[in-house]
A and B are shown apart, each in its own frame.
Chain A
Amino acid sequence: MTSDQSASTRPSSLRSLRIENLVKEYVPGKPILRNISFKAEGKCSVAIIGPSGTGKSTLIRCVNKLIPPTSGTVFVSDENITRLHGSELRKARRKIGMVFQEFNLVERLSVMENVLCGRLGYIAPWRAWLRKYPGEEVDRAFELLDSIGLLDFARQRADSLSGGQRQRVGIARAIIQEPHVLLADEPTSSLDPKTSVEIMELLVALSEERSIPLIINIHDVELAKRFTTRVIGLSKGGIVYDGPPADLSNENLKEIYGGTDWLQ
């Protein structure tokens, strides 16, 4: 699989993520991810569930090469990410939005500037330094903040916000990249149950509104079933379930997490 556009898939205008035979070994001979393949396209939200340490975070970071995969290929809207390096990789990363468990905002910058950080891949460093962001990007940032209900907080420092508000800023930062795929790494794990639901609603709504495929690492199975259109179950580094949340049975969950006591 070296060709950029493989013949089996027609080039489509839909935004998409395609992972083929992805393997990651931190220690040679001990793969943490074994032969992962799946595709997500257009309006869809995919939950990746699985026990801690099974490689969910590694999988999501192999997509934008924050962690380089050992073998296999990742395509974002039919562009092969895996073979890119240096500034080409940097440019490709602009098409991949990412939301984090700990929000990863720059605490001492304002909410506005944190959102605009999502555009740093597009603007020259000297403009960022002098805070001369292009007018239309500032407009778009204000619209986004308005749509997530944080317009009044634009000038506040990020460290003055609550957890839920910070995650909203994190989501706005990823969305302003106009990504072709949105990756969320345990976006609700640091939040209370009510805020978690709100954040899931926001992620799914934004992904559907803009037709951005959404990939969410999540350990809360109920949240996953409630909000996503597809569930991928990982166990011991391999995919053991891939289908609609409604078909996810206790048998499947037992296979994913092991044991039965926790299933009521």
Chain B
Amino acid sequence: MSSKQKHTWERFTFSERMARFTVFLGFAVALAVSLRTVEVIPEFLYDAPTQVADLLTRMWPMDLGYYREGIHEAMVETLHIASLGTLLAVVMAIPVGIMGANNIIQIPLLNWLAKLILVSSRSVNSLVWALLFVAIFGPGALAGTVCIGFRSVGFVGKLFAEALEEADPGPIEALTAAGAPWPSIFLKGYWPQVAPAFWGIFLFRWDINVRESAVIGLVGAGGIGMVLDTALNLFYWDRVSVILLSIFTVVILAELLVTNIRKRII
């Protein structure tokens, strides 16, 4: 059989094999180098299971009564921060998104400016935004709301701009040919095409923001994170466990809600 074989076939050419080998080698070297930097201390590593067990016994039984005393209000505040922050983000993201869509605004400088705004919003972590606004507004929900807003503009604006760029140019051409003014073209040509995407982005971002606003309290930007921070600092582990459980529950509920609404609008 093999002596009569006319064709040979291999998945990769020689140079492709060499390239793949080089990439694998690169990964291996990177792993080795980074392991040296991490400096794992063996004693602490072996000790870890004991520490986890100890932590769990401190967390149990949970101080469930603490929910009504200290958690509920903070949790509602967290939801408010997430919702208001998302609204703020959307208000800012619509003009920036339009400015960034290169089929609508055909001025490269403005497209570029919009991209710059969107990228700077996304490249700064929400904790960093929170620190910044806590410094400006002082600790509390206002700093958290503005932080969530600024952090989300990049995400909402980028996806909104992409949805606009993907809009079918046919109806736009038709409305232009009918002599419609620009606002009408946007409202009746672009908006109906991007509306499902827009509401989808809005809900998705709200879902993310519920999670983020639970964390930013750690640096003083209001909500459940501040309660968590206090409990951690005072070693009230039975409270910490209730707080974590509450956050987990709220996040799951938000996710379920968003998934359901998205199914209906798309």
Q: Which residues of A contact B (CB under 8 A)?
A: 64, 66, 87, 90-94, 96-98, 100, 102-109, 113, 117-121, 123, 125, 128-129, 170, 173-174, 177
Q: A120-B184, A125-B184 are in contact. Are A108 and B193 (CB under 8 A)?
A: yes
From A93, A102, A129, give the contact of B178 (CB < 8 A). A93
Q: Which residues of B contact A (CB under 8 A)?
A: 168, 170-171, 173-181, 183-185, 187-189, 192-193, 195-196
Q: Is the CB of B177 within 8 A of A106?
A: no
Q: Is the CB of B189 within 8 A of A125?
A: no
Q: A94-B179, A121-B180 are in contact. Are A129 and B189 (CB under 8 A)?
A: no
- A contact residues around B189 at 8 Å (CB): 106
From B180, B181, B192, give the contact of A108 (CB < 8 A). B192
Q: A108-B193, A128-B187 are in contact. Are A66 and B176 (CB under 8 A)?
A: yes
Chain B: CB-nearest residue to A63: B177
Chain B: CB-nearest residue to A120: B180
A-B pairs, top 8 by smallest CB distance, nearest first, are: A121-B179, A120-B180, A93-B179, A125-B183, A104-B170, A94-B179, A104-B174, A98-B177
- A contact residues around B187 at 8 Å (CB): 125, 128-129
Chain B: CB-nearest residue to A87: B181
B174 to chain A, nearest CB (A): 4
- A contact residues around B181 at 8 Å (CB): 87, 90, 120-121, 125
Q: Is the CB of B175 within 8 A of A102?
A: no
A119–B181 Cα distance when bound, in Å, is 11
Chain A: CB-nearest residue to B190: A106
Interface of chain B: mostly helix, strand, loop or mixed: helix
Q: A66-B173, A106-B193 are in contact. Are A177 and B178 (CB under 8 A)?
A: yes
Q: Is the CB of B192 within 8 A of A173?
A: no
A97–B178 Cα distance when bound, in Å, is 7
B193 to chain A, nearest CB (A): 7
Q: Is the CB of A104 within 8 A of B173?
A: yes
Q: A93-B176, A118-B178 are in contact. Are A128 and B188 (CB under 8 A)?
A: yes
- B contact residues around A96 at 8 Å (CB): 177
Q: Is the CB of A173 within 8 A of B193?
A: no
Chain B: CB-nearest residue to A93: B179
A82 to chain B, nearest CB (A): 16
A125–B188 Cα distance when bound, in Å, is 9
Q: Is the CB of A120 within 8 A of B193?
A: no
22 pairs of residues in contact across A and B, judged by CB atoms under 8 Å: A66-B173, A90-B180, A90-B181, A93-B179, A104-B171, A105-B171, A105-B174, A107-B171, A109-B188, A109-B192, A118-B178, A119-B178, A120-B175, A120-B180, A120-B181, A120-B185, A125-B181, A125-B183, A128-B187, A129-B183, A129-B187, A177-B178
